[in-house]
């Protein structure tokens, strides 16, 4: 079972490279450990995640607004937020092979690499340092943000003043965060540069626990709904962990981690935290209500990683199927007995929605008609035109990138003005009139 799972991870990494989802970073220079670049299909899928999150949590809600704050902020922000003092992981080093590890991630007290003795843990601050301006001196030290959250807190007053939002309301932001992780790895699961989608939801000072607990539960349900949207089977693949008190981050009174069954183990996908009034208080910010009462709002924070969303969606969508050689409704031209790899992504998430093929590339009348259809669909949906190789091979390629529909223009199309539309998951094919394609896809792709 464990082997099968490792295998799955290897297969996903290989598919990502082979099909242009994710490439190793700086590859032509020998790479740079644990850095990754999102390729043509990867960036589409990632953008789909970000767009949907923004629509669902910012645009469609009256109690939310968005923000895009700077990555590098005044270092005083990190002093006040507690990150300079507390954003640390316990680092141990092997006295023999000098490899470094995160102590809390080790199962044994011996070096996992060579069995050597480990040093006592040192607190290692994970913030990325840089110099701001032309002089490389200590006065100019600045930090890349390790979370997007603080950009939201420091803009709290600006946003209240400009939008006149009343509590409860939230501010959401999507953007990069940087952490000098001691042990990055597992592909895009843990990297030193990654992207977050965070919401800080501000509420009045709770009079009793129920006041914040109810809102916490509302956000818990929202997060579960979002995870389902990604095509993840919540019952089977998600475990909610109530983080024990002694493991809570310095700002949190309660945190739920949503763990996903990654091929390399059950690991954090997202977190939901009750940050109390810790942050606004640290920055000396407050709120005045309509009765002129001044107080410090409390905060519930649903925090999501874009890259982990991407990886979990891919793990859940990855499917291998055996194709039978016998003539059956699912029989495809060019398909011999073979295995097909298919990404069963939800339609909204798929990087390409419709692939358009002329049956043969050397028949100008087929190519012309296929191009016309491609041009008419591409304004509404991300489409791809493909005339390479036989149609069976083109199906395999589209299956691997998760394209829900393939459309083939054949000789009959020239006579009857219809085309074959093939469904990714069932492989069933139907004939659809060219003039009805818009409606057909609208119904399938926009629900
Ligand atoms: P972990 O315990 O895995 O280090 P964390 O509890 O430190 O994660 P948070 O600070 O809660 O993570 O960050 C919020 C979200 O940002 C995480 O749930 C995850 O989706 C994402 N995230 C955090 N660190 C990384 C990383 N190094 N690489 C990719 N995504 C990350």
Do 328 and 308 share a domain, yes or no? no
Q: Is the CB of 179 under 6 A from ligand 1?
A: yes
Helix (H) or strand (E) holding 302: strand 298-305
C-alpha of residue 301 to centroid of ligand 1, in Å: 13
Residue listed under structure tokens 């069933």: 428
Provide the pLDDT for residue 447.
Answer: 67
Residue 26 CA, chain-centre distance (Å), reads 22
Instruction: Judge whether 120 lies within some domain.
Output: no
For residues 247-282, one letter each, b for 16 or more C-beta atoms within 10 angstroms of the residue's C-beta and e for the rest, the string is eeeebbebbbbbbbbbbbeebbbbbbbbbbbbbbeb
Identify which of 305, 306, 311, 313 to mutate to test ligand 1's pocket (most ligand atoms within 8 A of the CB). 305
Last residue of a domain, one of 268, 287, 315: 315
DSSP 15-61: HHHHHTSEEETTGGGT--TT-EEE-HHHHHHHHHHHHHHHIIIIIT-
For the stretch 334-356, pLDDT in tens is 455 578 999 999 999 999 999 99
Q: How many CA atoms lie within 13 A of 263 on its CB side?
A: 22
Write 209-218 long-range contacts (CB < 8 A, 24+). 212/274, 212/298, 212/300, 215/168, 215/300, 216/254, 216/272, 216/274, 216/300
Identify which of 238, 268, 313 to mutate to test ligand 1's pocket (most ligand atoms within 8 A of the CB). 268
Instruction: Judge whether 169 lies within some domain.
Output: yes
Q: Is the CB of 270 under 6 A from ligand 1?
A: yes
| 247-to-170, 223, 255, 305, 402 alpha-carbon distances in Å | 26, 22, 10, 20, 39
List per-block mean pLDDT (blocks of 10 residues) for the chain, which spans 447 residues.
Answer: 76 98 97 96 98 98 98 96 91 92 88 92 92 86 96 98 96 98 95 98 98 98 98 98 93 96 97 97 96 97 98 98 63 63 98 97 96 97 95 95 98 97 97 97 88
Instruction: Judge whether 137 lies within some domain.
Output: no
Do 257 and 342 share a domain, yes or no? no
Do 346 and 262 share a domain, yes or no? no
Say which CATH number the domain at 280 has: 3.30.930.10
Instruction: Judge whether 88 lies within some domain.
Output: no
Q: Is the CB of 307 under 6 A from ligand 1?
A: yes
Q: Is the CB of 275 under 6 A from ligand 1?
A: no
| 287-to-213, 298, 381, 385, 429 alpha-carbon distances in Å | 21, 11, 44, 55, 60
Domains held by the chain: number: 2
Instruction: Give the residue whose CA is nearest to atom 28 of ligand 1.
Output: 190
Q: Is the CB of 193 under 6 A from ligand 1?
A: no
Provide the pLDDT for residue 329.
Answer: 44
Last residue of a domain, one of 315, 346, 364: 315
Do 296 and 336 share a domain, yes or no? no
**Please, is 229 exposed, middle or buried when counting C-beta atoms within 10 Å of its C-beta (0-12, 13-18, 19+)?**
middle
Provide the pLDDT for residue 104.
Answer: 87
Say which CATH number the domain at 420 has: 3.40.50.800
Identify which of 194, 256, 309 to mutate to test ligand 1's pocket (most ligand atoms within 8 A of the CB). 194
Do 191 and 281 share a domain, yes or no? yes
Instruction: Judge whether 92 lies within some domain.
Output: no
Residue 360 to residue 358: CA distance in whole angstroms: 5
C-alpha of residue 342 to centroid of ligand 1, in Å: 28
Provide the pLDDT for residue 336.
Answer: 57
Indicate which atom in ligand 1 lies nearest the CA of residue 146: 10
C-alpha of residue 211 to centroid of ligand 1, in Å: 27
| 324-to-130, 333, 341, 402, 425 alpha-carbon distances in Å | 58, 12, 14, 21, 15
Instruction: Give the residue whose CA is nearest to atom 25 of ligand 1.
Output: 190
In the chain, count of helices (H) and strands (E)? 14, 24
Instruction: Judge whether 237 lies within some domain.
Output: yes
Do 304 and 352 share a domain, yes or no? no
Instruction: Give the residue whose CA is nearest to atom 19 of ligand 1.
Output: 305
Instruction: Judge whether 86 lies within some domain.
Output: no
Do 331 and 273 share a domain, yes or no? no
Do 175 and 228 share a domain, yes or no? yes
DSSP 206-244: PSSHHHHHHHHHHHHHHHHHHHHHTT--HHHHEEEEE--
The rounded percent of the chain whose pLDDT value lies above 90 is: 88
Residue listed under structure tokens 């937020």: 81
Provide the pLDDT for residue 4.
Answer: 67
Indicate which atom in ligand 1 lies nearest the CA of residue 267: 3
Cβ proximity of 312 and 232 under 8 Å: yes
Residue 230 lies in domain: 2-72+149-315
Instruction: Judge whether 205 lies within some domain.
Output: yes
- Phi first, then psi: what are they for 334, rounded to 5°? 85, -5
- Inter-axis angle of helices 2-19 and 391-401, nearest 10: 110
* Residue 332: Cβ within 10 Å count: 17
For residues 26-51, one letter each, b for 16 or more C-beta atoms within 10 angstroms of the residue's C-beta and e for the rest, the string is eeeeeeeebbbebbebbebbbebbee
Do 284 and 178 share a domain, yes or no? yes
Q: Is the CB of 308 under 6 A from ligand 1?
A: yes
Do 258 and 200 share a domain, yes or no? yes
Beta-sheet pairing, 287-288 with 294-295: antiparallel
Provide the pLDDT for residue 423.
Answer: 97
Do 280 and 392 share a domain, yes or no? no
Last residue of a domain, one of 315, 348, 380: 315
Do 281 and 417 share a domain, yes or no? no
Under DSSP, the state recorded for 182 is S
């Amino acid at each position: 079972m464990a082997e099968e799972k490792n295998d799955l991870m290897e297969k996903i990494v290989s598919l990502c490279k082979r099909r242009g989802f994710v490439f190793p970073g700086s590859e032509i220079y020998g790479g740079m450990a644990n850095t990754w670049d999102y390729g043509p299909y990867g960036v589409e899928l990632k953008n789909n995640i970000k767009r949907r999150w923004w629509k669902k949590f910012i645009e469609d809600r009256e109690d939310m607004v968005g923000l895009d704050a700077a990555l590098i902020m005044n270092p005083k922000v990190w002093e006040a937020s507690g990150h300079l003092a507390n954003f640390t992981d316990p680092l141990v080093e092997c006295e023999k092979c000098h490899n470094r590890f995160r102590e809390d991630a080790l199962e044994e007290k011996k070096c996992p690499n060579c069995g050597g003795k480990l040093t006592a843990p040192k607190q290692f601050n994970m913030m990325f340092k840089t110099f701001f301006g032309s002089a490389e001196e200590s006065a100019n030290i600045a930090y890349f943000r390790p979370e997007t959250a603080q950009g939201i807190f420091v803009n709290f007053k600006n946003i209240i003043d400009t939008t006149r939002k009343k509590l409860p309301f939230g501010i959401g932001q999507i953007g990069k965060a940087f952490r000098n992780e001691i042990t990055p790895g597992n592909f895009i699961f843990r990297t030193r540069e990654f992207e977050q989608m965070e919401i800080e939801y501000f509420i009045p000072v709770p009079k009793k626990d129920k006041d914040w607990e109810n809102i916490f539960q509302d956000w818990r349900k929202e997060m579960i709904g979002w995870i389902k949207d990604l095509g993840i089977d919540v019952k089977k693949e998600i475990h909610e962990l109530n983080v024990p008190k002694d493991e809570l981050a310095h700002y949190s009174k309660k945190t739920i981690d949503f763990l996903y069954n990654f091929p390399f183990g059950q690991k954090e996908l997202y977190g939901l935290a009750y940050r109390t009034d810790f942050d606004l208080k640290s920055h000396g910010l407050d709120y005045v209500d309509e009765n002129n009462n001044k107080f410090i709002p409390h905060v519930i924070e649903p925090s999501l990683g874009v890259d982990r969303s991407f990886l979990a969606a891919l793990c859940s969508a990855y499917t291998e199927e055996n194709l039978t050689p016998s003539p059956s409704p699912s029989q495809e031209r060019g398909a011999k007995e073979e295995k097909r790899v298919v990404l069963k992504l939800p339609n909204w998430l798929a990087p390409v929605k419709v692939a358009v093929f002329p049956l043969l590339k050397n028949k100008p009348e087929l190519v012309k008609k296929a191009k016309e259809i491609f041009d008419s669909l591409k304004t509404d949906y991300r489409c791809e035109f493909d005339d390479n190789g036989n149609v069976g091979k083109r199906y395999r390629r589209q299956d691997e990138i998760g394209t829900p529909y393939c459309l083939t223009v054949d000789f009959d199309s020239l006579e009857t003005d219809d085309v074959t539309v093939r469904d990714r998951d069932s492989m069933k094919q139907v004939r659809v009139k060219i003039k009805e394609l818009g409606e057909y896809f609208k119904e399938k792709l926009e629900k």
